[in-house]
Structure 1
Amino acid sequence: MTHIILTRHGHVDWIAPERFRGRAELPLSDLGQRQAAALGARIARSWTPSAIYASPLSRCQHTAQAIAKAAGGAVQTLPDLIDTDYGQWQGLTHQEVEKRWLQAFKRWFEHPDMTAIPSGETLAMVLVRSTAVLRKMLDEHPDGQVVLVGHDSINRVILLHALGLPLSQYWRIRQDPCCVNELHLDAQGCSLSRINETHHLIDIGP
């Protein structure tokens, strides 16, 4: 059985006020760096991963490096873990997108599975990448313990797939910065024992 610790990168400035971050290169904020260090300590206390994979974006790479420093192991880049391509929405605030693409913006929050982001990805396309990640873990680490450092959107889709839920339920799952999700995967399916655990961040100041 493959044991996966799925996490999200630490805080970046575009989280609040909310922008469509996508594939923009955003450094971890001071808060994000503290969160990453606390996450590394949390993982080191409970698990001994044999591999650490991260999205190619620097906010995930730096979070993964903090985990590697605490828990050991080298960080490997996994392109399929990259954030959703938000196309023409990338970098814009919700208010800016709502003003220019009112119907698509409303659909994104009401029916995310039916939304086509201009020049960007659909959730169905993200799902293809998500299942490719899980297949890779199952094939290359059939009895291993691995850490995946991704983004809010890719993590939501991975968790929906693991739970057997449709993409229409995208907004039902929350992924806070540096949260911990724990999955067990084998040829018969997937089980979850943790979702969006953040108690290791309680003492991290703003």
Structure 2
Amino acid sequence: MTILLLIRHGEVEGIIPPRFRGRANLLLTERGIRQAELTRDAISDRWVLNAIYCSPLTRCVRTADTIAGPFKLDVMPHHGLNDIDYGTWQGKLVTEVAQRWPHELTAWHSAPHTMRLPGGESLQEVFARATDALQTILHANHHGTVALVTHDSVIRLLLCHALGLSPASYWLTAPSPCGISEIHFHEDRFTIRSINETQHLNESE
């Protein structure tokens, strides 16, 4: 059996007020650094990591490096875990996008699987590369515990995949910074053990 821990990176600027961050290479805030440290401690108390993969963006690499410390593991960036490409929306506040692309933003919130982000990716493309990455990781790790440090968009879609749902269910979950979701993979089946655990982050509030 393989235990998968899906972990969102720690807090960065642009979460509040909400901004389309996407591929912007953002640093963790001080609170985000503390969240990563608390996540490291929580994981080391409950699991022994055998491998850790992450999105190549700085916020995920920094979070993954922090978590990997007690296990003396090398963090392995994987392109398939990169954040969604928001195209022309990247870096813009949600309020600004609402003014300039009101119809597209409505579609994004109501039926995200039916649209391509202006100048960016579709959810189907993100879903394909994220699930391909997951299969590669599972093939390389038949047993043990593996952490994937990535973005809320990727975690949403991987949870959809594990639940047997399509990208149409993208908004079903809402991963928090440094939230942990635990999935078991055994005999070609996924079992969801928890989604978005955040109780370990109380000290960062």
Q: TM-score, normalised by structure 1?
A: 0.96
Superposition pairs for residues 1-206 of structure 1, below 5 Å?
A: 1-205=1-205
1:138–1:186 CA contact under 8 A, matched in 2: no
**Residue-by-residue CA offset, 1:6-62 (whole Å, 9 max, x unaligned):** 100000011001000000011000000000000000111111111111100000000
1:41–1:71 CA contact under 8 A, matched in 2: no
What is the CA–CA distance in structure 2 between the aligned matches of 1:22 and 1:128, rounded to whole Å? Answer: 17
**Residue-by-residue CA offset, 1:119-164 (whole Å, 9 max, x unaligned):** 1011100110121122112210011211100001001000011001
1:185: Cα distance to partner? 1.6
Identical-residue share of aligned pairs (%) = 41
Structure 1 runs not aligned, ≥5 long? none
Structure 2 runs not aligned, ≥5 long? none
1:71: Cα distance to partner? 3.6
What is the CA–CA distance in structure 1 between the aligned matches of 2:54 and 2:20, rounded to whole Å? Answer: 20
Q: Secondary structure at the residue paired with 1:165?
A: coil
1:104–1:116 CA contact under 8 A, matched in 2: no
**For the aligned residues, what is the CA RMSD?**
1.0
Higher mean displacement: 164-173 or 59-68 = 164-173
User: Which residue type is aligned with residue 137 of structure 1?
Assistant: I
Report how many residues are paired. 205
1:187: Cα distance to partner? 4.7
Higher mean displacement: 187-196 or 168-177 = 187-196
Q: TM-score, normalised by structure 2?
A: 0.97
User: Which residue type is aligned with residue 140 of structure 2?
Assistant: E
